Amino acid sequence: MQKRRHHPSREPGTEAPAGTEAIRDEADEPGGDGGLRAARPITPAYLERAALYYLERYGASAEMLRRVLKRRVETRCRLRGEAPEDFSEMVDAVVARALGAGLVDDAAFAAAKVRSLRRRGGSARTIGAKLAAKGVDREIVGAALSEEQEGGEDEAAFAYARRRRLGPFRQPSARAAARERDLAAMARAGFAFSLARRVIDAEPEGDLADL
C-alpha cells in the first residue's frame, strides 16, 4: 500500500464527523435504469482503495480503520449475498499493510487527540475513555498523556470552566448559587474534586494565573 499525502485540512487526530464514516462506493449508486449497479467483488485492491480514500481525509486508529472497512464489506456483502466474516482476514491484512506503510499510527493519533481534547478542556479520564472507544491501547494513551507538559490537567480544567462559563467565568452575582452545580459539572467531566474546587473557587484574576 503506497503512502499518499493527507488531506491538507486534516491533522492526524482529526476524525470523521459522526455519521460520515462510510466510504463512497460506486456500487451503492443508482444505475441508468434506476436500480442499483451490480456490486463488484470484494478484493484486497478494493479495500486498499477504500482505506486510502478514508485515511486521506481523516486521522484514524488502526481499530477505527478496521471498523470502517468492515462496514464497507458488510454493505457490499448484502448486495452480493455473501458472508462478511469470509473477508475478515482480508480486512486485517489491509489494516496491517496500512500500519506497515505508516498510514496508521496509533501513537501519533493518540498524541494529536490529546492535544486537541486538552485545548477543549478534556480531562485525562475523558480522553482515556474517548481513545479507548476508538480502539487505542491503554498503554499508548498513558504514554501520550505522560508526554504532555506539566500542568496539562490543570490547564484543561481551566479551559473547561471557561468554555462552560463555570465558577469565575459566571456573573459574580450568580457564582454562589451555582457553586455546587459547577463542582458537579467538573466532576462529571472527569476532574478530581480538589482541582475542581480550586478552579470553581478561583478569583477571575490572580488565582487563575497560577493554574
Which DSSP string corresponds to 16-53?
PPTT--PPP-GGGSB-TTSSBPPPPPP-HHHHHHHHHH
Exposed / middle / buried, residue 149 (Cβ in 10 Å: 0-12, 13-18, 19+): exposed
> With 60 as the cut, is the pLDDT of residue 9 above it?
no
Rounded to whole angstroms, how far apart are CA atoms 113 and 194?
Answer: 25
The helix/strand count (H/E) of the chain reads as 9, 0
Percent of the chain with pLDDT over 90: 74
Kindly report, residue by residue over 39-64, the tens digit of the pLDDT.
Answer: 889 999 999 999 999 999 999 999 99
Residue 39: the pLDDT is 80
Residue 186: the pLDDT is 98
Residue 34's pLDDT band, with cuts at 50, 70 and 90, is very low
Rounded to whole angstroms, how far apart are CA atoms 157 and 141?
Answer: 19
Task: Provide the 8-state DSSP code for 12.
Answer: T
For residues 24-29, give the mean pLDDT: 48
> With 50 as the cut, is the pLDDT of residue 23 above it?
no
Place of cell 478534556: 122
Residue 38: the pLDDT is 61
Cβ–Cβ under 8 Å, residues 34 and 40? no
Residue 50: the pLDDT is 96
User: Dihedral through CA 16, CA 19, CA 22, CA 25, nearest 10?
Assistant: -120
| pTM recorded for the entire structure | 0.77
Place of cell 478496521: 66
Rounded to whole angstroms, how far apart are CA atoms 211 and 198?
Answer: 9
Rounded to whole angstroms, how far apart are CA atoms 132 and 126?
Answer: 10
Residue 4: the pLDDT is 52
Average pLDDT over the chain, rounded to whole? 85
